[in-house]
Amino acid sequence: MKHLRGFTIFLTTLLTLGGLLGVWHSRQAALAHLRVPQTHTATLLLPGNSGGWLSMRDMVLSLNRPELAHFALTAHVTFAGRIHWQPRQALTTNPLIPVLFKDNTHARREALQLTTVLRQLHDRYGITHVNFIGHSSGGTIAYDYLNQDRRAPVTVERLVCIGADFPGERPLRYHYPQLHILNLAGNIGETGNDSEVPVKTATPLRRLVDHHVGSYRFTELRGPIWAMQHSLLHENPTIDRQIIQFLYPN
């Protein structure tokens, strides 16, 4: 029995490692030979409720390659809203900047703190144009930032929402003719949701931004639970490819 238990543990470990290797290989294959224009527009990645570095790590590291984008900085935001910058490599083209909020369960407060992040990016690093990738309530943080009175002296060019919902949000009050939005919602099979966010609560974003942005596109992604589950949407290589091509179009 003892030997059988040891074999079971060994087999389980082997299968897990094999699965992880398969995921890594699929991410590499999905982005292989892909090229996008190199610009000075920074892309900020905003995790969802209770999210942190692990939430966006795989996407950041997957896109961090010379022909795509560069993981340049991490912004650590304290409860009080102070920003601690963690440099990783030179701030060159298509910089990727995860924003990690210590107080990560209050989207409206995080949107206010995001203003400070953007202002410091402008003043310290000379960033004038940005994109947002928001997973879950990270999309809400980006939307709330766009809808508040205090904003930073930067131009928001593109917004990607992944599994975000918008119940109770007010229509966009300001015009952003340069802003292009991609709204992605996961659907596990025919369930109508990604296990946490129903597709029907993601679609109201169109009505909220109608006539206020340059373009809006909604895509419903259907697939099995291991590809479309809410917390796995930012682990999906197909979504990685779709996002980077939208952020930096040829």
Alpha carbons within 13 A on the beta-carbon side of 3? 0
Q: Which long-range contacts (CB under 8 A, 24 or more apart) does 34-37 make?
A: 34/67, 34/68, 34/241, 34/244, 34/245, 35/67, 35/68, 36/67, 36/68, 36/69, 36/94, 36/244, 36/245, 36/247, 36/248, 36/249, 36/250, 37/248, 37/249, 37/250
55 pLDDT exceeds 90? no
pLDDT of residue 4: 46
Percent of the chain with pLDDT over 90: 77
pLDDT in tens, 194-240: 899 999 999 999 999 999 999 999 999 999 999 999 989 888 888 99
The tokens 């984008």 sit on which residue?
69
Q: What phi, psi does 161 have (nearest 5°)?
A: -105, 130
Query: Of the CATH numbers 2.40.30.110, 3.40.50.1820, 1.20.120.1200, 3.30.1330.60, which one belongs to the domain with range 33-247?
Result: 3.40.50.1820
Give this prediction's pTM.
Answer: 0.88
15 pLDDT exceeds 60? no
